Amino acid sequence: MWVVKTRGLVKFFGDVVALDGLDLRVPKGVCGFIGPNGAGKTTTIHILLGLLKADRGEAYVFGLDCWENSYEIRRRVGVLLENPGYPKGFTAERYLEFIAKMYEVNQPKSKVKGLLKDVDLLWARNRKIGEFSAGMLQRLGLAKALIGEPELVILDEPTANLDPIGRLELMEKIRELWRDRGINFFISSHILPELEEICTWASIINEGTIVDQGFVTELAKKYEPYVYELEVEGDRDVFIKRLSELNFVEEVLVEGNKIVCKVKDVNIFCKEIPQIVAEFALTLRKFQPSYGVLMGIYRRLIKNEKSN
């Protein structure tokens, strides 16, 4: 069963078509929701939580209709919204305890302490939320999203404002929560290398429709998103000619010192290149992917869309 499923969702804001027949599917696990600014991610998330009503189409979370059953969905789903509002006069601890009581959590005080520790905010538990920095607010939002023992956590750009260590820790935490407690995640983010670390599934949205979605490994096979950069020392020209003749290389571009290869079969490529370099008695100075798999898929899909 899909954790999230929508069919033909349409949402207008006045004349603006925010969602244009969105067919989203999200399986169990850690799943990414990616697309350019204004593509419709936040609008979709609001509809999934029953905060917004779609003009047309259907939306289900755990098989429950998002508008009809929004109360139950919000009880089972933890969420970090894009621009959440908090009571500024509350301390972090008091606010989270208040939320914990709302969710009727057992031993709310120790639960809140544990969560504050998890998001590295224990040190600020007695400070007023109004005095928090942007990253501290983000951490508070994450703790809040996890408070009610959710089965699914929806995060709308969770790492915006987090410092580099905070980002790494969050990714590690998400991985752990799925692995150890089976909590599903649906994460909208523009930081593709980060998502790539943890997501097994990606849904790609552009202009209010899903342009493709699937397991990242399957998408990678379909779009062959691998682009490698090479730098060699020695007689480059024969090497470049040889590269362009290889059947597992789609295209070879030369950009100054850099040789950029669009690769069809990454496994064979990585195995063969060092051998070919040795054959031509060259020195390999650089041999690395230009960008990650998700970025490769995204570039292909979103660029293609724009050029159509």
Ligand X SMILES: Nc1ncnc2c1ncn2[C@@H]1O[C@H](COP(=O)(O)OP(=O)(O)OP(=O)(O)O)[C@@H](O)[C@H]1O
Residue nearest Mg ion, CB atom distance: 42
Residue 13 in contact with ligand X, rule: CB under 6 A: yes
Residue 35 in contact with ligand X, rule: CB under 6 A: yes
The residues, any chain, with a CB within 8 Å of residue 261's CB and separated by 6 or more, are 227, 228, 229, 230, 243, 249, 250, 251, 252, 253, 269
| 234, 276 contact by CB (below 8 A) | no
Binding test (CB under 5 A) with Mg ion, winner from 6, 42, 184, 213: 42
Work out how close the CB of 167 gets to ligand X at its nearest, in angstroms, rounded to a whole number.
18
| 72, 83 contact by CB (below 8 A) | no
- The window from 12-20, 96-104, 169-177, 252-260 that contacts ligand X (CB under 6 A) reads 12-20
Q: Provide the terminal-to-terminal Cα distance of the chain, rounded to the nearest Å.
A: 34
Q: Write the CA distances from 62 to 72, 204, 273, integer angstroms.
A: 10, 21, 47
- The window from 35-43, 114-122, 137-145, 288-296 that contacts ligand X (CB under 6 A) reads 35-43
Work out how close the CB of 47 gets to Mg ion at its nearest, in angstroms, rounded to a whole number.
13
Helices then strands, each counted (H, E), the chain:
11, 15
The residues, any chain, with a CB within 8 Å of residue 17's CB and separated by 6 or more, are 10, 11, 208
Question: How many residues form the binding site for Mg ion (CB under 5 A)?
Answer: 3
Nearest residue (CB) to ligand X, 41 versus 300: 41
Pairing of strands 64-65, 209-215: unpaired
Nearest residue (CB) to ligand X, 38 versus 63: 38
Work out how close the CB of 39 gets to ligand X at its nearest, in angstroms, rounded to a whole number.
4
Binding test (CB under 6 A) with ligand X, winner from 4, 31, 34, 43: 43
| 57, 6 contact by CB (below 8 A) | yes
Question: How many residues form the binding site for ligand X (CB under 6 A)?
Answer: 11
**SS3 category, 203:** strand
Residue 32 in contact with ligand X, rule: CB under 6 A: no
Near Mg ion in 241-300, by CB under 5 A = none
Residues in touch with Mg ion (CB under 5 A): 41-42, 82
Residues in touch with ligand X (CB under 6 A): 13, 16, 18, 35, 37-43
